[in-house]
Amino acid sequence: MRIAVVGSGYVGLVAGACFADLGHEIILVDNDQRKLEALRNGQVPIHEKFLPELLTRNRGTRLQFSADLKEAVRLSAAIFVAVGTPPTQSGEADLSYVESVAREISGGIEDYKVVVEKSTVPVYTSDWIRRIILRNGTDPECFDVTSNPEFLREGTAVTDFLFPDRIVIGCDSARSAEVLREIYAPMTSGSYYRRPEAIPQPDRGVIPPPLIVTSTKSAELIKHACNAFLAMKISFINAVASVCESVGANVNQVVHGIGTDSRIGSRFLNPGIGYGGSCFPKDVMAFRAVAREHGYDFRLLDAVVEINEEQRVRFLRKVNSALWTLRGKQLGVLGLAFKGGTDDIRESPALAIVQSLLQQGSKIVAYDPAAMDRAREVLGDQIGYAASSYDAAQGADALLILTEWEEFANLELERLRSALKYPIVIDGRNLYDPEVMAGQGLTYYSVGRAASHPDGVPGGLLKNGKKA
């Protein structure tokens, strides 16, 4: 099937590349000529596993790039709208880009088309898209508007798309549902997974994935409700971690105890410095705004946001407690992206903490495997940028771990201790065992667990593993 994907941002680029790999003919549409030219030349604008391979494999054959939306609509059976919906100051989703695309789509509809919301949008957006297209003179029998929310995690977006837990399609007509069933048939029939060139199956992959058909409004709500619930799990375990610190319990043991309950599960019960990125903060605020607009005060989401913000403050207090004063201290920082596996720094708790430390007079030398170029656009030369984890730690008064990159969990601890001026590690992602760190001569602070000190010596009294 020929499909137009409107928007070459994170969701649109991944969706277009994956649809092409399923065997469809894709026209990826964007009004940014520089971005289109870069994509045509083989440049990959985001750090995402398997995406470069899919773009290389399909570019110029099943995957084309265009700035002509009307022509792409005219040539395609389905049009996936994957443009940005950034938050307004009040927390509502800004739908101006969606509206602009809907107007332009109407000019290319000559026969039956299915317009698919792929962007994360509030309930009733499908009604507005239909209304806009009708206002521009389109025959109501020539199109349907549907919802197909994405559930992609940055860093694993390609495998999340091709090996999803479920595929949700929100359709209010049998005709549009049949078109979407056909689009996803290579996955739901299992035929894609039998191809030798298919992307490797992840550990949790469900083959074939179930296809869930709902009303359009239900599908619109599913995405917001899903992200709000996951954000709630993160805030919940961070609140539990705070209680653990107060009473002397170990949050990792608590997580194991409650996560093995099949009704709860262990995923997203990871204590740390809070959630960030382009989805959770925006979607929680948007869902709260939608509820409020329709007469429901979703106070639970207020608490989710409040706990998330407080978690960064608590971590900064931990840094202050470990070092007494921050002015003039040199701190090594591991991680600038909002999570491991991506170069995305949007709403990154790591970046927010770095900025707070700078305001308190600290000197920062940071390392991130993928996000330093993007961080440099925000921080400029306010911090130093290291070539490795050990370079970031060199001569530092303490090392802070702010992003859960796999390589940060596998450092050579003896080498790390030798690099540090004082052997203090403050871990915002709980990547290490406190007893192991103490055994390696490191004073170690984490989230929801008691601090550990080598030989019981308080932090700061050891220098390179020896008595100061």
Q: What is the tens place of the pLDDT at every residue in 189-209?
A: 999 999 999 999 998 778 999
> For residue 337, how far is the Cα from the chain centroid?
10
3-state secondary structure of 407: helix
pLDDT at 231 over 90: yes
How many other β-carbons are positioned within 10 Å of the β-carbon of residue 155? 20
3-state secondary structure of 347: coil
Task: With respect to residue 270, please indicate whether it lies within any of the assigned structural domains.
Answer: no
How sure is the predictor about 221, in pLDDT bands with cuts at 50, 70 and 90? very high
Instruction: Give residue-wise pLDDT tens across range 324-364.
Output: 999 999 999 999 999 999 999 999 999 999 999 999 999 99
Mean pLDDT of the chain: 94
- Strands 2-6 and 384-385 turn out to be unpaired
pLDDT at 69 over 90: yes
Instruction: Give residue-wise pLDDT tens across range 102-158.
Output: 999 998 999 999 999 998 888 889 999 999 999 999 999 999 999 999 999 998 999
Task: With respect to residue 416, please indicate whether it lies within any of the assigned structural domains.
Answer: no
How far apart CA 466 and CA 468 sit, in angstroms, is: 6
Calculate what percentage of the chain has a pLDDT beyond 70.
97
How far apart CA 408 and CA 401 sit, in angstroms, is: 8
Contact criterion met (CB below 8 Å) for 142 and 111: yes
Residues 6 or more apart whose Cβ sits within 8 Å of residue 466: none
pLDDT of 458: 55
pLDDT of 460: 46
Sheet holding 167-170, edge to edge: 63-66, 25-29, 2-6, 78-81, 113-117, 143-147, 167-170, 211-214
How many other β-carbons are positioned within 10 Å of the β-carbon of residue 356? 16
Instruction: Give residue-wise pLDDT tens across range 271-284.
Output: 999 999 988 999 99
- Strands 63-66 and 78-81 turn out to be unpaired
Task: With respect to residue 205, please indicate whether it lies within any of the assigned structural domains.
Answer: yes
Least confident of 60-69, 82-91, 248-257, 265-274: 82-91
Instruction: Give residue-wise pLDDT tens across range 240-263.
Output: 999 999 999 999 999 999 999 999
By the 10 Å C-beta count (0-12 exposed, 13-18 middle, 19+ buried), 335 is classed as buried
pLDDT of 465: 47
Q: Which among 305, 337, 303, 306 is positioned nearest to 406, based on CA atoms?
A: 337
In this prediction, residues 376-384 reach a mean pLDDT of: 97
How far apart CA 49 and CA 443 sit, in angstroms, is: 35
Catalytic (active site) residue 142? no
Q: Which among 377, 352, 379 is positioned nearest to 365, based on CA atoms?
A: 379
Angle at 180 between CA 177 and CA 185, to 5 degrees: 120
pLDDT of 120: 84
Helix, strand, coil: what percent of the chain each, to 5? 45, 15, 40
How sure is the predictor about 216, in pLDDT bands with cuts at 50, 70 and 90? very high
How far apart CA 10 and CA 294 sit, in angstroms, is: 30
pLDDT of 456: 56
Task: With respect to residue 268, please indicate whether it lies within any of the assigned structural domains.
Answer: no
In this prediction, residues 32-48 reach a mean pLDDT of: 93
Task: With respect to residue 48, please indicate whether it lies within any of the assigned structural domains.
Answer: yes
How far apart CA 240 and CA 243 sit, in angstroms, is: 5
**pTM score:** 0.90
Contact criterion met (CB below 8 Å) for 202 and 156: yes
Angle at 441 between CA 443 and CA 245, to 5 degrees: 25
Residues 6 or more apart whose Cβ sits within 8 Å of residue 278: 10, 154, 344, 346, 347
Instruction: Supply the range of the domain harboring residue 75.
Output: 2-214
The total domain count for the chain is 1
pLDDT at 462 over 70: no
pLDDT of 204: 76
CATH of the domain at 114: 3.40.50.720
How sure is the predictor about 308, in pLDDT bands with cuts at 50, 70 and 90? very high
Tokens at 240, concatenated: 């539990």
Task: With respect to residue 35, please indicate whether it lies within any of the assigned structural domains.
Answer: yes
Residues 6 or more apart whose Cβ sits within 8 Å of residue 276: 338, 339, 346, 347, 348, 349, 350, 352
- Strands 78-81 and 113-117 turn out to be parallel
Task: With respect to residue 145, please indicate whether it lies within any of the assigned structural domains.
Answer: yes
How far apart CA 31 and CA 35 sit, in angstroms, is: 9
Task: With respect to residue 148, please indicate whether it lies within any of the assigned structural domains.
Answer: yes
* Higher local confidence (pLDDT), 286 or 425: 425
- Strands 211-214 and 167-170 turn out to be parallel
How sure is the predictor about 459, in pLDDT bands with cuts at 50, 70 and 90? very low
How far apart CA 413 and CA 397 sit, in angstroms, is: 16
How many other β-carbons are positioned within 10 Å of the β-carbon of residue 437? 25
pLDDT of 463: 54
pLDDT of 284: 94
Point out the catalytic residue in the list 18, 171, 244, 279.
279
3-state secondary structure of 149: coil
